[in-house]
């Protein structure tokens, strides 16, 4: 990442951490201590983009988990505005990011509560995207990639971070003002694996789609189950 300090939109602010410090863990610690919502903790780096957004939901946790898809859609919109038009971004339900079909980073989330019906107090969504593939030669790991391997060498990571913040704020605001329908429709168009057979919780089944709170509809044989999105929260951040 370049030396320029990112400029974030109103209602958001930045906090840089030194190399070697995980922005996600730092953001969780700051959120637990009561920092302001809208804080983006980030780590300057030449080989990856790492950042975490602190959110203060005013709804129960299961509804607040919509912030993970909102951050994902925000990233797709941001990279879509900066990258060449042939670069395709898709989102995995569990937080994974795919660029041109290959795994390229991920989102993660933690909250101040684990009960889906509780008000979590705080929610942190972390983003990590490799700019360069470390320790592998081209073609050595065909299911993994990095932005610079996919025609994005001219994408400035500071600009990408700023764009992610702007587009994510737009989607959070729309979700707050309009409800989940628009976000649901946008995310579904970017979702990876809907209608396909996947492995989930040590079982193989079909990913049928999501409910209004982005819970996964997962069919195993004749049995269709709802897997709440809160089940992917990290509890030891």
pLDDT digits (tens, 9 = 90+) for 111-164: 999 999 999 999 999 999 999 987 666 566 778 999 999 999 999 999 999 999
User: Which ranges in the chain are annotated with CATH 2.30.30.100?
Assistant: 194-228
Tokens of 192: 């990876």
Confidence of residue 235 (pLDDT cuts 50, 70, 90): confident
Q: Write the CA distances from 46 to 84, 148, 229, integer angstroms.
A: 21, 11, 32
CATH number of 13-192: 3.40.50.10490, 3.90.650.10, 3.50.50.60, 3.30.930.10?
Answer: 3.30.930.10
Q: Whose CA is closest to 87, among 154, 141, 151?
A: 151
pLDDT digits (tens, 9 = 90+) for 21-59: 999 999 999 999 999 999 999 998 889 999 999 999 999
Confidence of residue 236 (pLDDT cuts 50, 70, 90): low
pLDDT of residue 237 exceeding 60: no
CATH number of 194-228: 3.40.640.10, 3.40.50.11310, 2.30.30.100, 3.40.50.300?
Answer: 2.30.30.100
Query: Hey, which bits of the chain come out as E strands?
Result: 13-16, 39-43, 48-55, 89-91, 96-99, 102-111, 123-130, 197-200, 203-210, 216-220, 223-227
* Residue pair 136/94 in contact by the 8 Å Cβ criterion: no
Share of the chain above pLDDT 90, in %: 89
pLDDT digits (tens, 9 = 90+) for 79-117: 999 999 999 999 999 999 999 999 999 999 999 999 999
CB neighbour list of residue 209: distance below 8 Å, 6 or more residues apart:
188, 194, 217
User: Which ranges in the chain are annotated with CATH 3.30.930.10?
Assistant: 13-192
In the predicted model, what is the mean pLDDT of residues 12-19? 95
3-state SS, residue 171: helix
Is residue 67 exposed (0-12), middle (13-18) or buried (19+ Cβ within 10 Å)?
buried
């Amino acid at each position: 990442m370049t030396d320029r300090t990112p400029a974030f939109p109103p209602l958001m602010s930045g906090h840089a951490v030194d190399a070697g410090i995980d922005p996600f863990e730092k953001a969780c610690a700051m959120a637990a201590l009561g920092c302001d919502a809208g804080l983006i903790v980030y780590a300057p780096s030449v080989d990856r983009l790492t950042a975490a957004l602190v959110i203060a939901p005013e709804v129960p946790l299961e509804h607040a988990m919509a912030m993970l898809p909102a951050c994902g859609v925000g990233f797709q919109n941001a990279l879509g505005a900066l990258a060449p038009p042939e670069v395709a971004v898709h989102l995995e339900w569990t937080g994974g990011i795919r660029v041109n079909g290959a795994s390229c980073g991920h989102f993660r989330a933690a909250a101040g509560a684990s009960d889906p019906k509780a008000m979590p107090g705080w929610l942190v969504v972390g983003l990590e995207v490799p700019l360069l593939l470390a320790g592998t030669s081209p073609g050595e790991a065909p299911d993994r990639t990095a932005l610079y391997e996919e025609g994005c060498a001219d994408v400035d990571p500071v600009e990408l971070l700023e764009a992610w913040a702007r587009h994510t704020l737009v989607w959070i605001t729309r979700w707050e003002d309009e409800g989940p329908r628009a976000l649901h429709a946008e995310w579904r168009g970017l979702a990876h694996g809907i209608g396909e057979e996947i492995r989930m919780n040590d079982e193989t089944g079909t990913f049928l789609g999501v409910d209004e709170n982005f819970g996964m509809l997962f069919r195993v044989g004749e049995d269709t189950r709802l897997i709440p999105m809160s089940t992917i929260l990290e509890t030891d951040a």
